[in-house]
Structure 1
Amino acid sequence: MNRFLKLVNFEVNRFAKIYFGLIILTILGQMIAVFMESNNLVRHATEYMGKQRISAEQYVSTMQPLSFSSIVNSLFYMGPILLSICALLFYVFFIWYRDWFANNAFMYRLLMIPVSRMNIYFAKTAAILLMIFGLVALQLLLLPFEFSIYQSIVPQDLRGLTPLSYVMNSNAVLSMIVPSTFLEFVLYYGAGITLVLVLNTIILFERSYKWLGAGIGIGYGVLACLVALIPVFLAGTLDQLYPIEIIYIGIACVGAIAVLSVFMSRFLLAKKITV
């Protein structure tokens, strides 16, 4: 366990500068977005009320209350989140290929460490997951503070009585970060973890069989996507299934893909990648 934790710490430290850059970008980008978008909402509402010569109460009744949802769903606000997602997806590949193409093929030195090769596999996976969960936790901490900034800028008589929970559910990405039920939490986060495991397996296929392995890996990824989409297909064709049953089927499909990916990766690391 001690060696595993050292491997995880080693992997995290290698990406730390970029990771902290993503954190700073997310904080500054979203704060600026909330401030600017809130002021824009108030300015547009004020200009409209001035032209139409109506009160705030009349504006709210004829138009719609100024909502934090419109800010959260803006590209300016979502930009740092989408950039962070892309950066972490890139890092799934970078964390493996960096070691293979580094000077003196650092990966082979790692594989010669007197520990199970799966420790290296799980250390790289754990490092990625820790960074993902760290950014999720950051987003959860930012949201209440951003909401308070919005409330301080937008006058109460122009705001709707929209709770923060509703605002989060109005955004597809945030609703996955904070699911409304425990089963949805298991499904969404299980799917995220499984995606990382599938990508790891695709990379190991390529490293084991080169160009042939790249084709096999892509085929495996497509197969994994098809299995993961079984619940969506069933939901669209079988009306007799309840939503809770669809979620259970989804969890089972994601779990099966995750287990298969781990066993395939274990086989490739043990039998096909040599030093």
Structure 2
Amino acid sequence: MSYIKLVNFEVQRFFKFLVALVVVVATTQVIAAFLSASNYKDQAETVMQREKLLAQDYVTDYGSYSIFNFFNNSLFLLSIMFAAAMLMIYIFFIWYRDWLGKSSFIYRLLMLPTERRNVYFAKLTAILLFVFCIVGVQVLLIEVAQLIMKQIIPAELLIESGAIITYSYELMSILYPKTMVHFLVSYGVGTAFVAMIFTAILVERSYHLKGIFIAGVYITLSLALLLVPVFIGYNTDYFYVKELLMMDVLMALIVFVSAVIIANYLLKRKINV
């Protein structure tokens, strides 16, 4: 129950931030869908009028409009990068807010009658909920974008993409994996990365100036482990793709477990209240 209460507490703290981020991302993507479709329609009408082309002739010569035009729009890509950047900032903010605030709220958290590791897991769970909320909202935004396209682009110039085609786009296939193995790779590696950053922050907080160097070494070693399957895949053809994916999962598990063990030790032994 202490863990659940801590998760609820963290969710309440980032809720306004999450709503603001969703509003910015949604607004940007709606504008991107409108501009992308409008620009294509204007260009198509201009060319068809100038060259006296029918719609099917234009599609043959210049291509039709599809969801991939929206995905390749700079505003759409910018919205995804912005959301990722805000998430990275929040990964640090969720800890340093408690440490660097006026009353050093972290010490009040660590004095609660519960295992200190629950504070760590609650913050990690909050970040994962943050990610899944953004990913869920993105599904709705894709549907909204497709509705905008249908309203602007004439049917003869538009290719309506089904879910399989839509989510086969490289970025979408990472956010929405097709198989359990791909899910474990995408979100398992992501979870291990967040845990690694959390532990690096605790290292820095525990050892201060010396901790910055130790945290840097720790992050370097952890990233090296996560990149081992990538290095093997690029330099040898000995393993199948599925085997390399399983290596990704294994390395992520090693990084995650080691991060939790180190963090638990620091919270118990090195951070005094």
Distance 1:37 1:150 in 2: 9
CA distance 1:49–1:164, shift in 2 (3 Å): farther
Q: Could you tell me whether the CA contact under 8 Å between 1:72 and 1:171 is conserved in 2?
A: no
Q: Could you tell me whether the CA contact under 8 Å between 1:68 and 1:147 is conserved in 2?
A: yes
| 1:222 corresponds to 2:220 | yes
Greater alpha carbon shift after TM alignment, 138-147 vs 221-230: 138-147
Distance 2:42 2:78 in 1: 23
AA matched with 1:42: K
Distance 1:169 1:217 in 2: 37
Identity across the alignment (%): 34
Partner residue of 2:22? 23
Partner residue of 1:77? 76
User: The residue matched to 1:180 in structure 2 has which SS?
Assistant: coil
Q: Could you tell me whether the CA contact under 8 Å between 2:30 and 2:144 is conserved in 1?
A: no
Question: Which residue among 238, 246, 263 is the counterpart of 1:265?
Answer: 263
- Once the two structures are superposed, residues 175-218 of structure 1 have per-residue CA deviations (whole angstroms, 9 ceiling, x without a partner) of 21111222111110101111110000110010010111111111
Q: What RMSD in Å do the two structures reach over aligned CA positions?
A: 1.4
Partner residue of 2:208? 210
Distance 1:25 1:229 in 2: 33
Distance 1:184 1:131 in 2: 20
Distance 2:96 2:227 in 1: 29
Following superposition, the deviation at residue 164 of structure 1 comes to 4.0
- Give ranges in structure 1 of 5+ residues lacking alignment: none
Q: Could you tell me whether the CA contact under 8 Å between 1:92 and 1:196 is conserved in 2?
A: yes
- Give ranges in structure 2 of 5+ residues lacking alignment: none
Distance 1:34 1:81 in 2: 14
Distance 1:156 1:252 in 2: 47
AA matched with 1:205: V
Following superposition, the deviation at residue 65 of structure 1 comes to 1.5
Runs of 4+ deviating beyond 6 Å: none
Distance 1:135 1:149 in 2: 21
Give the TM-score of the pair, scaled to structure 1: 0.95
User: The residue matched to 1:169 in structure 2 has which SS?
Assistant: coil
Q: Could you tell me whether the CA contact under 8 Å between 2:21 and 2:83 is conserved in 1?
A: yes
Alignment of structure 1 residues 117-196 onto 2, 5 Å:
117-160=116-159, 162-172=161-171, 174-196=172-194
Following superposition, the deviation at residue 133 of structure 1 comes to 0.8
